[in-house]
Amino acid sequence: MEYRQLGNSGLQVSTIGLGTNNFGKALFDTGLDSDASVAVVDQALDVGINMIDTANSYSHGLSEEYIGRAIKGKRDKVILATKVSSRMGEGPNNAGNSRVHIMAEVEASLRRLDTEYIDLYQIHWWDPNTPLEETLRALDDLVSQGKVRYIGSSNFAAWQACEAAWTSKSLGITSFVSVQPRYSMMDRAVEKELVPFCQKYGVGILPYFPLENGFLTGKYRRNQDAPAGTRLASNDRGMFTDENFDILEGLIAFAKARDHTMVDLAFSWLLANKAVSSVIAGATKIEQVVSNSNAAGWNLTDDEVAEVNGILGAN
């Protein structure tokens, strides 16, 4: 396993991270119970993955609880990332990025994770109803208190990430070291503005859905029924088009000619961008954890990246 700095911080994270939005209640009908979640985390640590990403809202806290059980006695091996913003209960102050919500939810996350600190605390969603300065000052206080080590954002537009960076700098307080956007070979919208911003200002990128709901695993074929039990079997989410299959078939041929899998290519293409600190990938089986970890071993050349981009076409 290789490790990279998380943005311009000194924190080293595995280039493949473990996403845990399927711990607890089924997401895409592939949810894991406590024992299965612990087994997946154990396997991740065994192959050198130290980046574990969750959120307080995943399965309404169950994901954090399961992770807490899994890392008991192994806390020093884990870079623990969680998020806050989503609604966690009834009432006007049980959602968003206000100081009151952040302070309440960080304590709840610490209890569920059974830890004294969170390595990376991320704002899950932009909150138009809360002044950004209030949010950032609350996070800065948590860093000063030692409850949080670093802070980041998720699902922010480029202008929102830039506004946060400027506000933190002008106030002289802790800044976001990372952003977590949806980003894959089939969804490159962030390359227009967010990725250049991150490259310029040293903000680490943590892509999620790198396999585009499994489409980029190569398990789906043109004019064939999706394999039973897969994410896209009941709803293709607009992926099963001739244009997308043209791209997929080109990518499969590219990877196969170099004795690699589609999973290898999907992750390695993202990691060819040095601003990407860790690719967040979920897993429902320990075999998938191993496959994901092995995928980071392919270092694409500049010429190979250019060839893949040619297959992908204009973003």
Catalytic positions: 58
Sheet (strand 148-154) strand order: 204-205, 176-180, 148-154, 118-123, 79-84, 51-53, 16-19, 279-282
**Are 262 and 218 within 8 A, CB to CB?**
yes
- What angle, 0 to 180 degrees and rounded to 10, lies between the N-to-C axes of helices 262-271 and 286-295? 50
Distances (CA, A) of 66 to 58, 62, 282: 11, 6, 15
- Using CA atoms, how far apart are residues 131 and 135, in angstroms rounded to an integer? 7
- Using CA atoms, how far apart are residues 260 and 238, in angstroms rounded to an integer? 27
Residue among 162, 68, 79, 157 nearest 115 (CA): 68
- Using CA atoms, how far apart are residues 81 and 53, in angstroms rounded to an integer? 5
